[in-house]
Structure 1
Amino acid sequence: MDDSQIVELYLDRNESAIAETAEKYGTKLKKIAKNVLSDPETVDECENDAYLKTWNLIPPNEPRTYLFAFVGRIIRHLAIDRLRHESRQKRTALFCELTDEMLECIAGSSDVEHENETKELTELINKFLDACPEEQRNIFVSRYWYFESITEICEKYSLPQSKVKTTLFRMREKLRNYLYEGGFIV
């Protein structure tokens, strides 16, 4: 079943939409949550919460051509929120490492008062990634969107560890410069 048909099930309030989403994307969604969280039960809870939130967000949204990205974003945010909640005092090493790596490129702010700036930043990052060669883009997205480890990325793309690390370092540098040229001071 394609994404448009699954979204149509959501719009019709047909509960089989959740089963179809789980069948088509369940494994990938769990992997996103698993890369953030370590507990399998918590991963399952995030997956179920993601389906519920998807159910509640369709309608008004109609992600006919990007259902996986839509649900993937939901589960990613749920997993990160869960991680923050469960480890307020002791932070997970991988999450801290990835946050520190991206803070080299993007200055964080404690409050989200400028929604337009967020949109502009998102557009700039998307343009930056669109201009990158496919291999570099895949490595970057695997690391910072899917939270995959360097080892997983090496295995996934059959690359040596040094190449993956160097690619990520250089892309962060390029992204920082690109954002600076786009008006974001890092």
Structure 2
Amino acid sequence: MDDNKIIELYFERDENAISQTKECYGERLKALAYRILCNKEDAEECENDTYLKAWDTIPPQKPKYFFAYLAKICRNTALHMAEKAQAQKRNAVVVELTKELSECLPDSKYIEQTAEKELSEVIGAFLKSVSQENRIIFIRRYFMTEPVADIAKILGISESKVKSSLFRTRNKLREYLSKEELL
């Protein structure tokens, strides 16, 4: 079933929307959650929470890109779960990604002062300015939390090319944010 038909089911409040969503995207959502949580049961719980949040928000939301909408819910839910579960010892994946991006993103005090939406809009505009390949690599790494090796395999390129792309894109992002006076 295509995304528009599934979204129609949500608008009709038809519970088949959830089963269709699970059939189309369940494994991908669970994999995303697992990469963050490193726990099968927590990933499954996160996947189910994603369906519930989608049910609660559609309508009124009518996502243009359904999987991206679900992935954002899933990712945020997983990050929140990881934060709660490991307040003392941080998840290695989250720490690694945070460390990689810390050099080019404003510090948390600035983010509190600046509207989070403004920062995400600026980053979105930045990503539109880079090549499609670099954008895909960046999103797969920092939004979908995919390992460098998996990105290289999926795109049919070397791991070193993925790492170089991420390094250059982070540097360009830092420059872009600096020009926008967000750093």
Q: TM-score range by the shorter chain?
A: over 0.9
**What secondary structure is seen at the aligned counterpart in 2 of 1:184?**
coil
In 2, Cα distance between equivalents of 1:181 and 1:113: 20
- Alignment of 1:54 with 2:54, yes or no, is yes
1:12 alignment partner in structure 2: 12
User: 1:179 is aligned with what amino acid?
Assistant: L
Residues in 2 aligned to 1:161 and 1:67: alpha-carbon distance in whole angstroms: 29
Q: Does 1:120 align with 2:125?
A: no
1:96-122 per-position Cα deviation (integer Å, ceiling 9, x unaligned):
01001111111232586546x322221
Alpha-carbon distance change, 46 to 57 in structure 1, aligned in 2, over 3 angstroms = same
TM alignment of 1:99-138, pairs within 5 A? 99-110=98-109, 113-114=112-113, 117-138=115-136
Structure-1 residue corresponding to 2:97: 98
- Tell me the amino acid that sits aligned with residue 164 of structure 1: V
Which residue is equivalent to 1:163?
161
Trace 1:73-88 onto structure 2 (pairs within 5 A).
Answer: 73-88=72-87
Q: 1:143 aligns to what SS in structure 2?
A: helix
Normalized against structure 2, the TM-score is what?
0.94
Render the CA deviation track for 1:127-171: whole Å, top value 9, x for unaligned: 111111111111111100010111111211122222111111111
What is the alpha-carbon distance in structure 2 between the residues aligned to residue 108 and residue 81 of structure 1?
19
Aligned residue pairs total 183
Gaps of 5+ in 1: none
User: What code does the residue aligned with 1:10 have?
Assistant: Y
C-alpha separation between the residues in 2 aligned to 1:15 and 1:51? 11
Unaligned segments of structure 2, at least 5 residues:
none
Structure 2 distance, partners of 1:107, 1:73, is 21
Closer/same/farther in 2, CA of residues 54 and 44 from structure 1, 3 Å limit: same
Give the Å deviation of 1:126: 1.0
Q: Does the 8 A contact of 2:35 with 2:93 survive in 1?
A: no
2:144 pairs with 1:146? yes
- Identity of matched residues, %: 43
CA RMSD of the aligned region, Å?
Answer: 1.5
Structure 2 CA distance, aligned partners of 1:110 and 1:83?
Answer: 22
TM-score (normalised: structure 1):
0.92
In 2, Cα distance between equivalents of 1:112 and 1:58: 28
